[in-house]
Amino acid sequence: MPEAPKLPHDLSNPMNDYSLTQKNKNKLQFIEDVTSNPDQVQQRVLSEILTQNAAVEYLNRHGLSGPTDRDMFKKLIPVITYDDLQPDITRIANGDKSHILSSRPISEFLTSSGTSGGERKLMPTTEDELERRSLLYSLLMPVMSQFVPGLDKGKGMYFLFIKSESKTPGGLVARPVLTSYYKSSHFKQRPYDPYTNYTSPNETILCPDSYQSMYSQMLCGLCLNKEVLRVGAVFASGFIRAIRFLEKNWSDLCHDIRTGVLNPVVTDPSVREAVMRVLKPDPKLADFIEFECSKKSWQGIITRVWPNTKYIDVIVTGTMSQYIPTLDYYGNGLPLVCTMYASSECYFGVNLNPLCKPSEVSYTLIPTMGYFEFLPVHRNNGVTSSISMPKSLNEKEQQELVDLADVKLGQEYELVVTTYAGLYRYRVGDVLRVAGFKNKAPQFNFICRKNVALSIDSDKTDEVELHKAVENAVTHLMPFDVTLTEYTSFADTTTIPGHYVIFWELSLNEATPIPPSVFEDCCLAIEESLNSVYRQGRASDKSIGPLEIKIVENGTFDKLMDYAISLGASINQYKTPRCVKFAPIVELLNSRVVSNYFSPKCPKWVPGHKQWGNVN
């Protein structure tokens, strides 16, 4: 029987080529629309936020009530940091359900990787924010498909993980924003879409045990290797950890592929079941992977094991740029694609030119996501002052804030956000530079996060915290008649996972030798004093390696000063940098190391905030 003639497009398939193209067009048109008149969109967003939240206590407390306009909002509402908000957050965490920040119920807290008083910041959120986040995600693949066609014909191998969650004394869940998203129906029950077709079954992503999660995601990624068109993780550090995992475990993984039997280390029944839907005995594939992984060099391992990969999707802007050389090595120069810029407070924007070089990445803020303002950053000698914590703005500084549509090309700004969920003129702490425009909407390079000295994964350690931690550690040296003359630090990402290195110069009394265990105790004391995001990375996620103290020869820090002066630093104003990044300086320090010590164990970490006690 002759086949029925095919319709030009199969309308019975919800995601055929025609409807996909149409959907992509709609999303790109949305971007065109909102970037063509960003100021009107921003005005509407602010008006919606203020109308919806007109009766909330916070706005009323500052003199706003009832309908209002942008000028009045700016006049009355102060620009704030997390510490200003802490008393309100504490009330919500303790169960106060009155409309303090938002007229909609606070559905949960998102635990930011930024900290306050050593603990994660708690960002209030509401149900409807999930839709806004989903919208931003839905823009990414239509943008990408303009540059790399055919991505709907295969899978993405993304290593995605959930983190532990806790409950506030008032019963609200507190967890990272991605954990919240992966556990939501927006992710779990997403309708079939070729762009969210991942090698990792949901169950493997939602597995709370990070080892089982990684093992099963890697195994599925290997089983489906030919179908993989793109690979990634959220941050570069996470993707490199996955490759490192393969380096350590390929033999076990190949055994599973050869036999079709899943390793008993994966004990979670739902994960086992999901993996068994993918895993079939395939000795040929096992031989191939074994052959590639047992080669001495791992250069290009990604293109070798997943030969159809077109790009690596990871954030390498900001501190993550330290991982670019490693990714280039494993990926043999595959494009590194940074698709989006987002935070617990608000999802901000997308990269409309995703195949550009990492150093040129700029993000277009999507004006419907929140109301954005920009505080001009004045650099001091080319360096933002970093030891001081953000201070309150005086009246003049408050007036310097400009709207999204008014930022100037080349100027740097600190991002200030007002959200539907109840943050008003909140300083995110990120410094952005205007790199260009999409229609009338500015595009920003991510410059840095303020006050971050050291970062390996999502940890953000500032100089003040580091200084206190070093002071605590030095007490271990007291019995030995020794003083710490100088110190500095370095985020060493040449190890996987990366780790903090602290360089110490000591003035020693040679008569009393110091046993290595004392320095090891110092390493641990520093780690115990650092914030909870750092300790979680060390103890739970294993995304940060043991902290190392390197003792340098006497006179090393004088050499460091000589070097800085030779580069043009002023001798009167020279201060020892508390964190170094510049390769020649790191080399200088490393060349004068006399001994080194590592933290002997993980620092303590428990989920939740220390003031909540054991509420889990």
State the residues that interact with ligand AMP by CB under 6 A.
112-114, 177, 315, 317-318, 338, 341-344, 428, 430, 446, 449, 458
**To which H or E segment does residue 256 belong?**
helix 236-259
Nearer to ligand AMP, 104 or 449 (CB): 449
Q: Could you say which DSSP state residue 80 is in?
A: B
CA 95 to centroid of chain Cα atoms: 29
Nearer to ligand AMP, 415 or 551 (CB): 415
The least CB distance from residue 320 to ligand AMP, in Å, is 6
Nearer to ligand AMP, 130 or 338 (CB): 338
Between the alpha carbon of residue 455 and those of residues 65, 241, 489, 500, 537, the distances in Å are 42, 15, 11, 8, 11
The least CB distance from residue 180 to ligand AMP, in Å, is 11
The least CB distance from residue 348 to ligand AMP, in Å, is 8
Q: Is the peptide bond before 208 cis (omega within 30 degrees of 0)?
A: no
**What is the rounded CA–CA span in Å between residue 150 and residue 512?**
69
For 59, list phi and psi in degrees, rounded to 5: -70, -40
The least CB distance from residue 343 to ligand AMP, in Å, is 3
Sheet holding 228-235, edge to edge: 155-159, 228-235, 311-315, 336-337
Nearer to ligand AMP, 245 or 446 (CB): 446
**To which H or E segment does residue 341 belong?**
strand 340-342
Between the alpha carbon of residue 364 and those of residues 195, 207, 353, the distances in Å are 21, 34, 10
Do residues 522 and 516 make contact, with C-beta atoms less than 8 angstroms apart? no
Task: Return the number of other C-beta atoms located less than 10 Å from residue 40's C-beta.
Answer: 13
The least CB distance from residue 296 to ligand AMP, in Å, is 34
Nearer to ligand AMP, 178 or 218 (CB): 178
**What is the rounded CA–CA span in Å between residue 489 and residue 464?**
13
Nearer to ligand AMP, 139 or 524 (CB): 139
The least CB distance from residue 210 to ligand AMP, in Å, is 17
Task: Return the number of other C-beta atoms located less than 10 Å from residue 204's C-beta.
Answer: 30
Question: Quick one: which of 194, 199, 238, 237 has its CA closest to 216?
Answer: 199
Nearer to ligand AMP, 136 or 157 (CB): 136
Nearer to ligand AMP, 218 or 530 (CB): 530
The residue type found at 297 is S
**What is the rounded CA–CA span in Å between residue 50 and residue 45?**
9
Do residues 487 and 470 make contact, with C-beta atoms less than 8 angstroms apart? yes
- Partners of 373 in beta bridges: 403, 416
The least CB distance from residue 610 to ligand AMP, in Å, is 19
Between the alpha carbon of residue 582 and those of residues 393, 489, 579, the distances in Å are 32, 12, 10
Nearer to ligand AMP, 133 or 578 (CB): 133
Nearer to ligand AMP, 46 or 428 (CB): 428
The least CB distance from residue 341 to ligand AMP, in Å, is 4
The least CB distance from residue 537 to ligand AMP, in Å, is 12
Do residues 237 and 323 make contact, with C-beta atoms less than 8 angstroms apart? yes
The residue type found at 423 is L
Name 289's Cβ contacts closer than 8 Å, sequence gap at least 6: 222, 225, 250, 253, 254, 257, 305
**What is the rounded CA–CA span in Å between residue 402 and residue 416?**
10
**What is the rounded CA–CA span in Å between residue 408 and residue 404?**
10
**What is the rounded CA–CA span in Å between residue 254 and residue 191?**
32
Nearer to ligand AMP, 446 or 503 (CB): 446
Do residues 346 and 477 make contact, with C-beta atoms less than 8 angstroms apart? no
**What is the rounded CA–CA span in Å between residue 91 and residue 97?**
9
Nearer to ligand AMP, 113 or 599 (CB): 113
The least CB distance from residue 183 to ligand AMP, in Å, is 16
Nearer to ligand AMP, 304 or 538 (CB): 538
The least CB distance from residue 346 to ligand AMP, in Å, is 9
Question: Quick one: which of 312, 336, 582, 321 has its CA closest to 449?
Answer: 321
Nearer to ligand AMP, 142 or 318 (CB): 318
The least CB distance from residue 79 to ligand AMP, in Å, is 16
Nearer to ligand AMP, 306 or 446 (CB): 446
The least CB distance from residue 569 to ligand AMP, in Å, is 28
The least CB distance from residue 234 to ligand AMP, in Å, is 9
**Furthest C-alpha separation in the chain:** 99
Where on the phi/psi map is residue 111: left (φ > 0), alpha (ψ -120 to 50), or beta? beta
Task: Return the number of other C-beta atoms located less than 10 Å from residue 588's C-beta.
Answer: 17
**What is the rounded CA–CA span in Å between residue 237 and residue 244?**
10
The least CB distance from residue 107 to ligand AMP, in Å, is 17
